[in-house]
Structure 1
């Protein structure tokens, strides 16, 4: 038996929900649409409704894997046909991440940057890999995951279902599952705003699938997420029989399709223009690009230029800091040289310029004038005072002190 829940929210900025989610008897999926007001919701809804036809029992997990992949490709064809009939939807597309359970295994199919996580024995594992440009950079060791989170190209998708690629590459796999496992499927409205440590904490502490899904959506909204957020939580126990569960559809797939007469409300877009919701604060700033060598080369070249600019900026900043420190030290040294004091040099009274303190090996004073007054010729109390140094207000004052010491010499 799989206890599950699906929750979707429009987010804090968007006016419509372009996500779709499904929690069924054996199938669970999340789809994150893109393509503007009249495209993203249609794309995720069409894909979700087509893929839910696979929600049934299969003889083996590999049969389920094949069926799930075939359903995603069929959904891709449906999207292309829809765009052919409704040109105002040109450029729409959707991510899809889904699992189909067969006994103690799950078949997985994934395309885009929605995610599938497995929470098991206190550990959260990201099962899918984002099909984004920055993930390519992370995988190749060019940038760190922390740098990817703030990279200006972090929202460029390399693979989606849509009207661009007739045969998109879809990641599939078969994974073991066991009682106590908790599967999480989510759009980037969750993963881009809530840290994995927090996600794991919620999955660990909230026993109900429905309450856990609600809590994760709230966490995303509390972080100010402008994007739609969709969460599907699936709890696994000791049987795969889920035939009595009532399927749940959320998001745009739960509503009737509405895209006729939208031409005037949405400008035509080429496939490579703004398509996907941004993961920061400008909802329409990211997009999808087909996975071509030329485009990847252009992005990598741009990233190299950006890295060079960043290094040059840091070098200039470091140079300015060093110049500032040196300038400050020079000013400080000049300030110390306005002071005078009387002390002992080679057993004789001398006038020093500077201050008594030193900074490590750097001496902040030097002998300015030597005298013929032997320190031993002075009374004991005068010797002690000179040895401890006597501050002067200026050079004239220092000379008056020396004159006084000369008058105090022992006969």
Structure 2
């Protein structure tokens, strides 16, 4: 499968907070359509250096992938990247003890030849949209989502629950190891969008709002502007997101097939 991504659009804003604990990779000014790895992280901890945690997670994942990835990232490989990131957190806290307790959510999209691999930890989300319809959505690792699954509260009650920002899984340290939920999506079509975001976006936009935006705007820049209009100056939290438009999906042709095709052209 040969998946071509159009120009990605990204935003990383501090919103209503004094500092920005969100981080994304790559930075908007560095991204291009050849990029295969995308990360959006939301630092946890406030005074415990959440902004360091999210930034270090992006840096560590990028380093691990660029150093060790040979093929498609498996669930095992991604969780090894988490182990590496947790060790990096330990190193930082050893020299900066005031950062003890820092943690971060993580969402990851990796575009490969078998499909698109998604991974997430925490309550930052990844969506796959097709003509505005949500084909896939990650499931939050949060207290309120656990309560919804147990039937203790409704989805409507979860949106206003006083503990709605409490997460039950985060990247933190080797003393508190965690794992990502990982899935490989193979149903990919030209015109699909992958959307990664922190919960600051979800503070303003529910699923039906996002579906409306993705169904009524014809290009990713307009989608970005519509989300910005909903969030800018209106959120209490930081808000960050990546919009990844699928431009084309074709069959991959191996090197041997290319050589044979070239030779046959002379027969």
TM-score normalised over the length of structure 2:
0.81
1:109 matched residue in structure 2? 119
C-alpha root-mean-square deviation of aligned residues, in Å?
A: 2.4
Please list every run of 5 or more consecutive structure 1 residues that lacks an aligned counterpart in the other structure.
Answer: 242-411
Summarize the alignment of residues 374-389 of structure 1 with structure 2, pairs less than 5 Å apart: none
Match of 1:188 among 192, 199, 208: 199
Report if the CA contact (8 A) 2:169-2:178 is conserved.
yes
For residues 159-207 of structure 1, what are the alpha-carbon distances to aligned partners after superposition, in whole Å with 9 as ceiling and x for unaligned?
1011374421221111122222100000000012212222112222233
1:55 to 1:181, Cα distance in 2 relative to 1, 3 A: farther
Report if the CA contact (8 A) 1:11-1:226 is conserved.
yes
Summarize the alignment of residues 191-270 of structure 1 with structure 2, pairs less than 5 Å apart: 191-221=202-232, 224-239=234-249
**Count, aligned residues:** 238
Match of 1:16 among 5, 9, 19: 19
For residues 43-79 of structure 1, what are the alpha-carbon distances to aligned partners after superposition, in whole Å with 9 as ceiling and x for unaligned?
1000001112326996654x45443332222112211
1:214 to 1:121, Cα distance in 2 relative to 1, 3 A: closer
Answer yes or no: is 1:139 the counterpart of 2:149: yes
2:255 matched residue in structure 1? none
2:259 matched residue in structure 1? none
2:37 matched residue in structure 1? 27
Please list every run of 5 or more consecutive structure 2 residues that lacks an aligned counterpart in the other structure.
Answer: 252-267
Answer yes or no: is 1:155 the counterpart of 2:165: yes
Summarize the alignment of residues 343-362 of structure 1 with structure 2, pairs less than 5 Å apart: none
2:254 matched residue in structure 1? none
1:98 matched residue in structure 2? 108
How far apart in 2 are the matches of 1:74 and 1:232? 24
Cα offset for 1:110? 0.7
Report if the CA contact (8 A) 1:9-1:217 is conserved.
no
1:207 to 1:51, Cα distance in 2 relative to 1, 3 A: farther
Report if the CA contact (8 A) 2:48-2:101 is conserved.
no
2:5 matched residue in structure 1? 2
1:292 matched residue in structure 2? none
1:120 matched residue in structure 2? 130
How far apart in 2 are the matches of 1:167 and 1:57? 21
1:166 to 1:32, Cα distance in 2 relative to 1, 3 A: same
Q: Secondary structure at the match of 2:163?
A: coil
- Answer with 47-56 or 37-46: which moved more: 47-56
Q: Secondary structure at the match of 1:142?
A: coil
Summarize the alignment of residues 355-374 of structure 1 with structure 2, pairs less than 5 Å apart: none
Q: Secondary structure at the match of 2:56?
A: helix
Report if the CA contact (8 A) 2:86-2:174 is conserved.
no
Report if the CA contact (8 A) 1:116-1:128 is conserved.
yes
Match of 1:80 among 56, 76, 90: 90
1:171 matched residue in structure 2? 181
How far apart in 1 are the matches of 2:41 and 2:133? 25
Q: Secondary structure at the match of 2:161?
A: coil
How far apart in 2 are the matches of 1:77 and 1:148? 34
TM-score normalised over the length of structure 1:
0.54
For residues 281-321 of structure 1, what are the alpha-carbon distances to aligned partners after superposition, in whole Å with 9 as ceiling and x for unaligned?
xxxxxxxxxxxxxxxxxxxxxxxxxxxxxxxxxxxxxxxxx
| More RCO (CA 8 Å, sep 6+) | 2
